[in-house]
Structure 1
């Protein structure tokens, strides 16, 4: 009887569980079909058929983890990938972000899923172009994260081949890259503003207070539930009005509104001010089955539905002509069907119950909805109505303004209820004043309780804020603490060794009676021993760091320039010259100068050594 084979799906889940427990990678939120296909592809490469056998392979071969992760985490990236979207980001979005910040406000950017760094450095170039390199270095921090440590290692090198830079404008290549040995390295002064680190979007806490968050074509690897979770974290990470830049593979559905589109075609969104943090409506392209049926008389149905709405509504065209007015608007404001087609400025509605034309123009120009609260209208003697007016721009498919919708919400009942509540409150206040004299003890207790409640509320706010920061930092601190301890021990040992070597070298230089001067490749003084002080009367702290030719000593240093330059260019060079000089006592002497090259570990010239010795008088 054959043994029962394990369930393939459960066996695959066992592989994911082993990866999570052994290496901390949680792939349970990834799409199962694509994830299983990539794991199976790696198994086929090494000739393994069953998942349990593959777990055995992972247990005995530590290098297999790296190969598997490289197969799962496909790092497809490039500079300014999708040029049209990046151009819009550079020319429209980034200037708008900078306009809302002060000249000294920090700018925080997060490149989530940065792979080998091209996206992060594209952001650096875009911001440096908009701000200038000096302001960029002072204000900008770009946090670039990924789960692939090998990709992060490559990103930190900031070195790319010529093919990698094909999509970079030539003027950017010349301005932001330095060519070395056939490769191009990103500018070191700007590179310091780009901080790379490991971050798992599924498990790790998000980086907070972000002005611009870029996560392109990464969400498509996750299932819808995980995407919702990640986007909820993105919403938390962004500051108010923060911008989210996604890739072509992600789109916005209308189930929820935690992000408002700035440009839907280019996948650029802004954090919604009243977002709930639920990101269920923000997913990558789904497979949708078309179940629509034809609806007859749809135009007539729309017209009757609009007309029968209990809320007064007027629609104005892009040319400020009244296009629609429902029945409630006609009844409330005395409009008639003849008013449809007339300019808004010719109707009383344009200035009552509020000066409406300014708000219509503002909504059309800024392309954003406006809400005007507490609008009072005296329709007749003793008849006061209150409205909350919503002014909404109507945008066509081609992103042009079709018109503006004005909705008048009648809040008179709510307002009157509020007034009644205020009156009742005043009555209660009067009663409270009468009872105050007999409730002094209760009042004292109440004040103490109120003070305690306020303190608790303040403490609670502080604890919540601290908890958010601790959640973000805790895992990173735990992972780096051991590394820092190891590095600290190593640095302490190295420091002791360096102190011993420095003391040894210092004793050698001090013991030499001849004057010894060590120069770097720019002919600046690196070392100046006691013999040189005795010979020329210049102290060590006065000489070190100065250019040799700038030293005011009795030695004709300009005559030594040829031999010094030869020593700086030829690692095998050594030569001796005799020159007439004036020592520190003002006497004319003949000095024997031996000049040799100072070689580095690679055998290349790293500087020059001058040994100077005063010659005794000769007959």
Structure 2
């Protein structure tokens, strides 16, 4: 969502949160942020941002629920085990070797959530140094903006499920089993310091040897990421390390950090280039070595453009096609002879989408124009979905050079989204379907992880897409845990309701009297088997119908007034005898008793009816008729 497309009402809500509670979410990605806020609003049946802001003003306790929804605390011990193996086997030993024997080692876990990764670092460092040296030399600072998560982290208490990913040797060595819970060793716990810290507003912790911030940057927009990374750069010592999450690659910030192990997202700090060094480079522009280096750099740039996995073309301001990479040639069947041709003469200019008007719009607005989910028909049955970005290319004096157009194939993501929607629907059915959906999500996670590894050299827009997918994945994991809890509660309530229904059916069957229950609108909700035998209508034929619409041998119209009096509460008990014809065509006298049915409010009435001849020993017809005459 660009700045021009921001919802003013949502932006007002963010300003209110910052002014009233000090939480600044304006640097977060709008798509993720709006999705999380909407989730909380739906739970309250609130439809727009203005109403939700009014709700926050009236109910201040809602802030905590909102922040817990926005701040997704999805973490684990040794999360992404291959990356932690590299940290344990290479990074931490190198870090220790580069320090003097008595020199302090400072580590920062930024966005620590409930503390699992901070304690993972503590275990690995203690394993290398030994417990005694660890306590003397190591300080691990673990920070987050979520106070509830920090309180949980400070307790250092975890469930059996939480510690399953810890190797048995480390779990037995560094955790104590107390009351069905696993507690981290207190003597080592003192070296892990937890505190609230806002990456945007608070000063960074300095003089660090290792900074771990995993799957935290991906929630912020590109501008905010740049500000945070500049602070990370300041916080780290020379030759220090930065360890990020699997969706965070820093492709646009190579001036601050250089990848040491891009697959595992481990980076080193780039030393600041001095002004003297830059002047020395500029002093001999005609030097042969410099010329050769420049030529290699140009060739390297061209090869990098040609081999990028995203289809991309470049058009100059005269409307001439000047560059086409390999993916674009394959995707749109372009050939070297098409270079230098007018773009408007190519089929690509108007299919799968009209690009000429969008190019003019990019020139006019001087900003990228983005189209998502553009449909391209490959065959009669197969559709390809593309994200198209038209980016104006400007010289340093802001004059236009042309445009770059990239085509990102998102068909796979569209299919994944459809699969996830179907999985969400299946989660609401049965436990068996829930298990199947979890397996599908695990497969999806593996596919997304594989996709991220394949797209390590993509542009900034693809980087943003990868981060968005990782965010949705963590939301789904959080939602799965919530649904499992809700499902257990629903199973328990269903069992209780079944017991209640069985008891009610047993009671109704044990009564040798016809029982009819109607609601306040005269519609039948209970019709027991004695009534079926009396009037010849089955339960499924009358449920939900008005009692006055029944065509039976009972003169139901004569009951309208007594039933209304019962529903209004004017009479608590009424009884009468009516002449009727039963289902066998025999004339009978039917005894009826009417009583109101109360709950929190009037819910309906209960009609008890029976053939007088069958219960003559219990009911005196003459007594009832006398009472009717007296009334």
The question of a shared fold, defined as TM-score above 0.5 by the shorter chain, is answered with: no
> Whose RCO is larger (CA < 8 A, sep 6+)?
2
The bucket for the TM-score relative to the shorter chain is 0.3 to 0.5
Q: TM-score, normalised by structure 1?
A: 0.44
Q: TM-score, normalised by structure 2?
A: 0.43
